[in-house]
Amino acid sequence: MPLIVVYNPVSGDRTAAKLTTDTILPLLAAHNVIPDKVAATEHAGHAGTLLLSYIDSLAVSVRAEITLVLVSGDGTLHEIVNALRSARSKQEGPFPILRVVLIPGGTANALHSTLFPPPTSPTAEPTVLASLHSFLSGTTQRLVPLTFAHTSIPTSPPVLPGSSENPDGAPVPTTSSDVVSIVVTSTALHAAILHDSEALRASVPGIERYKMAARQNETTWYRARARLLGPVQRYDVTTGALVTVVTAEEEEPLELSGPFAYFLSTVNVDRLEPLLRIAPLQRALPPPPGAKTMDVLAVRPLRDPSLEGKAGEGERKRFKERLWGVLGGAYQDGAHIKARYDSQDGKTEGLPVVEYFRVRGWEWIPEEDDEKAHLLCADGTIFHAPKGGKITSTVLARTTHELDISVYA
């Protein structure tokens, strides 16, 4: 079967080239697996074009299924998936199945740490080559298919009927950017952190840059409405179960009014970093195989009864302490999803701080004058919606994207 090795020499701590040469290629050779091609990415966006030109170089008779050994972080895989999706949409007929051997060479390695959670015992084997061992094992191979979250971000501001640009209310064609996430799609704090941390990449190559960017955004709230598209389930902290709140696609979405401190959705992953288990139900209560769902986490500060509905500087500073305290629970195996506000009457339980949903998709409608609420992060790539532009994210059905991409686990 055709096999290509691709590594990103600048991802993470920049050790992908050494790992490939010193460890991965010798291990493949020891199993009589000789790659057709070994290539380093040379610039952003290169991984996708590399893979597509490799596919083009193969005779049609041998390209039904391709193995990619990828040494990188999530961002490089994200680029590959988007390049394949774009190529697929322009091509009729069969398209190669892609099997990925994923070697964590990035900073966060969310997908890899979800498939291979960090060992709890100090004597356990490190997991860096676990996907490769699965591929080489032959008998114990497990392939995990990837789910895609498709997000559409308008590129031009909405033109409302009756406005000076459109006085007679004629339909105005909208333009948008489209992107597929395989890990995370977010707005609010997470998007702001990813946006600001990119500027720190050169000086702070490790995870620390995310913490620095977090501090820059810790008292910001984001004014927007979110509409959760059905079917929608809500996590019930008391029973530990997911409870249906919107039954079908046709029903009215569940609307969440802002402001938001946090709004993030994940597919395929429960972790964003090896120890940051942000969406624990992705593994604790996994969706059935092939389900068209993503998990959404939202934090809306004004649910905190101690703020008494106020959003001043003092309340934001107080809420910052609460938010960090709660989100810190994500590092304790996902304990944040159980945190509650204080009870108002001292008898009943307080509201959950983190609202956790399983949904088909969501819409995010930022308030026009809140610039930071217009940021969107798709697997680390940042987009800016135009003023007041509505962002929509939904899980793509396999029949729509017609791609078959899975990872050895």
Ligand X SMILES: Nc1ncnc2c1ncn2[C@@H]1O[C@H](COP(=O)(O)OP(=O)(O)OP(=O)(O)O)[C@@H](O)[C@H]1O
Catalog residues that contact ligand X under the rule CB under 6 A: 8-12, 41-46, 72-76, 79, 106-109, 380
Between 42 and 251, CB nearer to ligand X: 42
C-alpha span between 92 and 291 (Å, rounded): 25
Per the DSSP assignment, residues forming a β-bridge with 70 are: 6, 102
Rounded to the nearest whole angstrom, what is the least distance from the CB of residue 113 to ligand X in the complex? 9
Rounded to the nearest whole angstrom, what is the least distance from the CB of residue 216 to ligand X in the complex? 18
Query: Amino acid letter at 305?
Result: P
C-alpha span between 55 and 407 (Å, rounded): 18
Q: Whats the size of the chain, residue-wise?
A: 409
Between 301 and 380, CB nearer to ligand X: 380
> 144: helix, coil or strand?
strand
Rounded to the nearest whole angstrom, what is the least distance from the CB of residue 17 to ligand X in the complex? 10
Between 71 and 307, CB nearer to ligand X: 71
Rounded to the nearest whole angstrom, what is the least distance from the CB of residue 81 to ligand X in the complex? 12
Between 47 and 365, CB nearer to ligand X: 47
Between 192 and 229, CB nearer to ligand X: 192
Between 76 and 131, CB nearer to ligand X: 76
Between 25 and 382, CB nearer to ligand X: 382
Between 10 and 339, CB nearer to ligand X: 10
Rounded to the nearest whole angstrom, what is the least distance from the CB of residue 47 to ligand X in the complex? 6
Closest residue to ligand X in the complex (CB): 73
> 20: helix, coil or strand?
helix
DSSP letters for 351-401: PBSSEEEEEEEEEEEE-TT-GGGGEEEETTEEEEPPTTPPEEEEEPPHHHH
Rounded to the nearest whole angstrom, what is the least distance from the CB of residue 154 to ligand X in the complex? 23
C-alpha span between 153 and 306 (Å, rounded): 36
Specify whether the CB–CB gap between 359 and 231 falls below 8 A: yes
Rounded to the nearest whole angstrom, what is the least distance from the CB of residue 29 to ligand X in the complex? 25
* Pairing outcome for strands 149-154 and 176-181: antiparallel
C-alpha span between 284 and 280 (Å, rounded): 6
| Cβ count within 10 A of residue 278 | 26
> 288: helix, coil or strand?
coil
Rounded to the nearest whole angstrom, what is the least distance from the CB of residue 107 to ligand X in the complex? 4
Rounded to the nearest whole angstrom, what is the least distance from the CB of residue 190 to ligand X in the complex? 13
Measured over the CA atoms of residue 199, residue 109, residue 392 and residue 95, the dihedral's sign is positive
Specify whether the CB–CB gap between 103 and 71 falls below 8 A: yes
Between 73 and 154, CB nearer to ligand X: 73
C-alpha span between 197 and 215 (Å, rounded): 11
Between 93 and 126, CB nearer to ligand X: 126
- List CB contacts of 320: < 8 A, sequence separation 6 or more: 218, 219
For 300, list phi and psi in degrees, rounded to 5: -115, 110
Rounded to the nearest whole angstrom, what is the least distance from the CB of residue 408 to ligand X in the complex? 18
Q: Which of 275, 296, 260 is nearest to 210 (CA)?
A: 275
* Pairing outcome for strands 65-72 and 3-7: parallel
Between 10 and 294, CB nearer to ligand X: 10
Rounded to the nearest whole angstrom, what is the least distance from the CB of residue 409 to ligand X in the complex? 17
DSSP letters for 128-148: TTHHHHHHHHSSS--EEEPP-
